[in-house]
Structure 1
């Protein structure tokens, strides 16, 4: 759902966001200059009641996971006056302007299968921080070692 827009006005990206309960009529995007690859691309600024610009969020570059591979900006707006952060995504460009989209986060399904992925390191095993090799034989049968009926000396 589109909830706002930013346009290039005199070399500045200015815009607004409005929903049924949120009205942010004067927003700006300030470019972040950083060599840190984790730094945001823009800070989101709002004009407060004292007529001062204050930071209320940030935007990072992202790429759509669908087949289009479209680049966009994503981040959140947060302020003590909001009941919770507002996740947003901006589609467009600095020259043409941006459309601001919002999507309600989907709750996690507690009964969905877990995908824990492969082990992070191939060398995990005995002595390398893992649990070691399995003692189970083929088909899950008890592997080598003492049988249940064998007497184990202490």
Structure 2
């Protein structure tokens, strides 16, 4: 899901990020000068309430496993956020970037996803709520202990 953009204006990368709960109307990317191969490529900056530039994230160069396409990956973080917001920035033709929110994919503690199985519904079998008690016409089947006269 696209949540912002960055334009290259006179050699400066500036833009915005907006989601349902986050509104950063002015962000900037500052190139990181480092000899370390583990250093980020850019710092993500924004104006705070006192109109000072503060760092809220960092971006590293990444590549798509499927296509090999280069992009920037990192996160936006602030003490006011419940958790860091992972983002990916994809280059545009004008030298800027489209900012996309990216969900962390597989999590081992939840069996490969955010609490959901990676298998389709049909492959799950009968490990859920069990078989239906409704017949093809919607009538109650296989349960004789329910009293239809008692209102819910």
Is the 2:92–2:98 Cα contact (8 Å) retained in structure 1? no
SS in 2 for 1:51: coil
**CA RMSD in angstroms, aligned pairs only:** 1.9
Q: 1:109 to 1:39 in 2, by over 3 A?
A: closer
Could you tell me how far apart the structure 2 residues matched to 1:99 and 1:78 are? Answer: 19
CA displacement at 1:96 relative to structure 2: 2.0
Could you tell me how far apart the structure 2 residues matched to 1:45 and 1:107 are? Answer: 29
CA displacement at 1:107 relative to structure 2: 5.4
Is the 1:13–1:94 Cα contact (8 Å) retained in structure 2? no
Q: Considering only CA atoms, is the larger Rg found in Structure 1 or Structure 2?
A: 1
Counterparts of 1:2-151 in structure 2, within 5 Å, are 2-66=2-66, 68-92=67-91, 95-106=94-105, 108-110=107-109, 112=111
Unaligned runs of 5+ in 1: 114-154
Unaligned runs of 5+ in 2: 113-152
Is the 1:58–1:75 Cα contact (8 Å) retained in structure 2? yes
Is the 2:6–2:96 Cα contact (8 Å) retained in structure 1? yes
Deviations 1:93-148 (A, max 9, x none): 695210001122235244759xxxxxxxxxxxxxxxxxxxxxxxxxxxxxxxxxxx
Q: 1:58 to 1:94 in 2, by over 3 A?
A: farther
TM-score w.r.t. structure 1 length?
Answer: 0.68
TM-score w.r.t. structure 2 length?
Answer: 0.68
Could you tell me how far apart the structure 1 residues matched to 2:52 and 2:93 are? Answer: 23
